[in-house]
Homo-oligomer: A and B are copies of this chain.
Amino acid sequence: MKRKILLTDCPDAQGLIAKITYICYKHQLNIIKNDEFVDHTHGRFFMRTELEGRFNDETLLADLDDTLPMGAKRRLVAAGKKRVVILVTKEAHCLGDILIKSYEGALNVEIAAVVGNYDKLEDLANKFGVPFHHVSHEGLSREEHEAQMRAVIDGYTPDYVVLAKYMRVLTPEFVSAYPYRIINIHHSFLPAFIGARPYQQAYDRGVKIIGATAHFVTDDLDEGPIIDQHVIPVDHSFSAEAMAKAGRDVERLVLTRGLRQVLEERVFVHGNKTVVFK
């Protein structure tokens, strides 16, 4: 008895739930949990099916391919650990949260390595037995630096690359090497305060809430599909520094929560948006 997740993303049509679940039934697979969503605006159907049983992947997928409409995408993935490489700069809180939750067994992830453009967090990674690579950007062009980063990252063949407050802008070339596989935390409730120093922007504008956003990275800075967001209230007594300090708790929460949703195969990308089955 194994557990796998079937992910279906296809043009909407009548009877899809019946057809897909019937195939699962015919294969004597038990549906542990099923979530579906129809985007009526775009005529698109999404379904996530947690299955348990004895799988014959080949015939199951063949049966699905016979049944699903043209343009369907379907994946059958084992429910298990995904491998990630984490990119950092100097701030410890997001990396620390992923390390400690992984250590506690609260996050189903294999942290293959941490790569930093500073060496400040080497000690933290090593505490948890995770290899740390210092790839300094000093004296290098952006392209040279990214080439070195990619060489290190690709050595670990990660499923996902996590930017845990990695504070450098990535080139389109870098991004396209990991399509919808780079997860970033932005320290504002996007699309408010795009770009640099969002807490200073929030302070200057006098907002009464601050937040953070986990999103996939695309070519457009801070414009990729949003996975998760969270906010906390602030008031006049918060300086920009106090906002940044309070915001760290939101950043770590949102990045880890968004990452967990990705790791558990709960996230579909659909245009520049996501469908997230919680």
Interface residues of A (CB under 8 A from B): 14-15, 17-19, 21-22, 24-25, 28, 30-34, 36-41, 92-93, 96-97, 99-100, 103-104, 106, 124, 127-128, 189-193, 205-209, 211, 225-231, 235-237, 239, 245, 248-249, 253, 270-276, 278
Contact = CB atoms under 8 A, between A and B. Distances in A.
Nearest to A29: B14
A158 to B, nearest CB: 23
Q: Which residue, A209, A228, A274, has most C-beta atoms of chain B within 10 A?
A: A209
Q: Which residue, A18, A24, A237, A271, has most C-beta atoms of chain B within 10 A?
A: A18
* 3 closest A-B pairs by CB: A206-B273, A15-B25, A18-B21
A36 B34 contact: yes
B209 A189 contact: yes
Assembly of this chain: how many copies?
4
Contact of A228 (B32, B97, B208): B208
A96 B103 contact: yes
Contacts of A193: 191
Contact of A14 (B30, B205, B208, B253): B30
27 contacts: A15-B25, A17-B17, A17-B21, A17-B34, A18-B22, A18-B24, A19-B25, A21-B21, A32-B40, A34-B36, A39-B236, A92-B103, A93-B100, A93-B106, A96-B100, A106-B248, A127-B127, A189-B189, A189-B209, A190-B192, A205-B226, A206-B225, A209-B229, A209-B230, A209-B231, A231-B231, A235-B276
Contact of A191 (B41, B103, B207, B208): B207
